[in-house]
Structure 1
Amino acid sequence: MGDQSRPMRAVAASVLLAVENGESLSQCLPPALQSLAPNERPVLQALCYGTCRWFHRLDSELNDRLKKPLKKPDRVIHHLMMVALFQLRFSQQANYAVLNESVEACRALDKPHLTGLVNGVLRSAEREGAPEPTTDASRFSHPVWMVKKLRHNWPDNWQQILEANNAQAPMTLRVNALRFSRDEYLALLNEAGIEATATRFAPYGIQLSHPVQVDQLPWFADGAVSVQDEAAQLCTTLLDLAPGQRILDACAAPGGKTCAILENQLELAEVVAIDESAARLPRVQENLDRLDLRASLLQADAANTEQWWDGQPFDRILLDVPCSASGVIRRHPDIKLLRRETDIVPLAAIQLGLLAAMWSVLKPGGRLLYATCSVFPQENHRIIQRFLKKQADAVLATPDVQWGCDMGAGRQLLPDPVSHDGFFYAVLEKPEL
């Protein structure tokens, strides 16, 4: 992706080109960060995340400023100018530095013939200031299809969802209840000079006023806390865990919920954590090791029960399905570039298939918790409605909770700019024989 001699903006432009070509930031950013000096890495990360967050607004402005689109081999220069526009519009960086260094980066990207274009476009952008957005897609900086879908699904909330997606997500911790009470850990943070408050809904959650590096958190390496959004923490409040149960976490990586389950109930008979991705399972083990917890890890497609199931049914199943991730865009702004409207129907088919497969390994008298980090009803309560129609022995439970909207078949949390992500939960119970 780059080397020590490449200017940071050139590296950022290359990362954004990779995202446009279908790679996630979590895939293409780490090697790019390694190519830079340690002091430059946070700046690169901020440039890439910020440009993705405001991509649709910046892209609209840039396209208006270009007389004609750049040819495909020169597309990286489009992204270079996007990075510069992001800095002109949303950062404290001095304008002259943005202009001069962008021209230098153009040369470093082997496009010296385009330095005049880069200079001219950015000078006029600086001189004229930001244009007034003319569409909802550019105003809220989201793809057109997503704005339309949210407006249709959430006629009273769509603007709040879009605004929350553009906010910086807070850093939230889950206290390991085996080690500390929440109040004890809040006191430790206070002693360390880290400002924090208890979360509203998650019983072990703490939200920091400002993000910090994890190594600054008291006893982090010894398993005192984990970083996990408040909405994701709610899974343990809905599973009704008790000693002696056998638990399945069906799509487990990176393991935050697996660990939360084990912290919540130490006397479980067994926790089995499955993930299809061999590359992501080591992350689950790392989290378990840091927290000194034990689970049985399997690499398998959870839907293909013949491949992995030992015939012993489970008392509780957490099914956190693959989804559009439309509820966590503020944490992963590249979703705006990567997700397509055509992804939703195939995802819904996978979700329904997983639900049917998991039902077959759930014990009579058992409970299944269906979860997504999506705000699209097609992946959420409509999946539950479809499943209940065809699965005669599935009963919808209605937990007595104070959070989210009751969708008739499950509860929806919308992203909140000052607290939790967007999340959906539904609790299904299988009657005793």
Structure 2
Amino acid sequence: MRISVIGCGYLGAVHASAMAELGHDVVGIDVDERKITDLRSGRAPFFEPGLHDILTSATASGRLRFSTDIAEAADAEIHFIAVGTPQSADTYAADLRFVDAAFEGLLPHLADGALIVGKSTVPVGTAERLAARLAEAAPHAHLAWNPEFLREGFAVQDTIAPDRLVYGVADDRAAAQLDQVYRAAIEAGTPRIVTDYATAELVKVAANAFLATKISFINAMAEIAEATGADVTQLADAIGHDARIGRRFLNAGVGFGGGCLPKDIRAFSARAEELGRGESVAFLKEVDAINLRRRRRVVDLAVESFGGSVVGKRVAVLGVTFKPDSDDVRDSPALDVAVHFKGLGADVIATDPEGIANARARHPQLAYTEDTDEALRGADLVVLVTEWREYRNLDPVEVGRLVANRFVIDGRNVLDPAAWRAAGWEYRGLGRP
């Protein structure tokens, strides 16, 4: 099919490349000229495993091209809107300016029977509002909402072989067109849910709210474990064997971050308030509060262990991205921890395999190095806050030869406490005795 993708950020660049990889003829549109220049050259504007390969393959084949001119989308049958919906500057609500601008920009370029498909995460009611506008300005076209469920680090896989497809549609025609887009996934047996606009919009925010709640629940249990001497990791193992609960997302630590979960649960709360149902999701405010408390707990552990002050202490921060296999530092707990240490007078040096450039752009006051050994050398404290494989696999004996003081805080509970203690380290985890 002939497809346009409006917005070539994280979601849009992956979606456009994956659609072309599946055999569609795709044009990606973005107002950022530098981003478009990079994409035309086969350079992804961010790190995502597997993206470079499908981006270069699709551009070389001629199935994928990029432009800053939305008029070049005019011959597309389907237009995906994949722009960002950041948190508003002065409220918790989602900022829909980019969605609205993309939608209005498409209106003069819609062919008969064209389908606009929303991929962006939006407050419930957005699709209904846009559908009314479309009926007024371009009645020859129609609208669907098709939320994305991408995991950073697995986004290419999740786009090409999704675990489910959700269509929010007003008629069977839109569903049939989407079936053509996702034919390979449907033929592979991917579950497909066809529903209304409001349900499709709620699916995405409800999923993120549930995942955030599960993470904050186990972090709340970590707080109780710290007060009682229990081990939250063993607790998670035990309750995770219950099939109704499951073990995934029950990893206590420094909490969640990134460009989705934090802003999405806040936007959900804001929208519920607008609907007069704020009490229905009031618990999400505590979910958010627990999450933010765990970042501070990492710093407090260090302050307590150093007798009340970290001034002048050399702190090696392992990781600045919000999760491994990504260069995304948006609302990153790891970067937040590093900044907190710096603010308390510590001599902070942070390292990360992929995220240093983005971290430096946001917090140039920190010192950075791409060399893990350099970060560790002479450290009074090692803080693991992003669970990159290379940090999980560190040898405590070898690391012990580099540092000035064998003290480690495991902000992700991924190290083996017995092995590190046997190598002479003071080991502190979150919610672990």
- Give the TM-score category using the shorter length: 0.3 to 0.5
Relative contact order, higher structure (CA 8 A, sep 6+)? 1
